[in-house]
């Protein structure tokens, strides 16, 4: 049985368009959250070493997460905001 892709693949944030990069983008969240498996981490970091686009995407993502974390620690975030952030993270993971 073969899978026929009639629809073009979704274009990810990075424009390098390599299939590896799409996988990297999908791994970003679990890598930063520390939920990735050893195998995924190895794959991720060896790719990021050789790919500028994914390296930049990782940096950006990590900064965003750190920013959110620091703001949550310093201020009391309204419950609405917090749960909406969490639901966004869950749906993109």
Q: Which of 25, 28, 36, 54 binds Zn ion (CB under 5 A)?
A: 54
Cβ-based neighbours of 31, under 8 Å, separated by 6 or more:
40, 41, 44, 58
51 touches Zn ion (CB under 5 A): yes
User: Closest approach of Cβ 21 to Zn ion, in Å?
Assistant: 3
Find the shortest distance in angstroms from Cβ 43 to Zn ion.
11
Pair 44, 36: CB distance under 8 Å:
yes
Q: Distance between CA 36 and CA 44 in Å, rounded?
A: 10
Angstrom distance (rounded) from CA 32 to CA 66 = 10
- Mark 5-44 with x for binding to Zn ion (rule: CB under 5 A) and - for no binding: ----------------x-----------------------
Q: What are the residues binding Zn ion (CB under 5 A)? A: 21, 51, 53-54
């Amino acid at each position: 049985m073969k899978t026929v892709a009639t629809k073009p693949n979704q274009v990810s944030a990075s424009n390098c368009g390599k299939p590896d990069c799409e996988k990297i983008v999908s791994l970003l969240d679990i890598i930063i959250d520390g939920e990735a498996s050893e195998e995924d981490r190895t794959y991720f970091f060896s790719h990021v070493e050789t790919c500028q686009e994914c390296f930049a995407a990782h940096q950006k993502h990590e900064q965003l997460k750190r920013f959110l974390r620091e703001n949550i620690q310093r201020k009391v975030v309204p419950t609405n905001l917090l749960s909406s952030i969490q639901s966004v993270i869950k749906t993109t993971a």
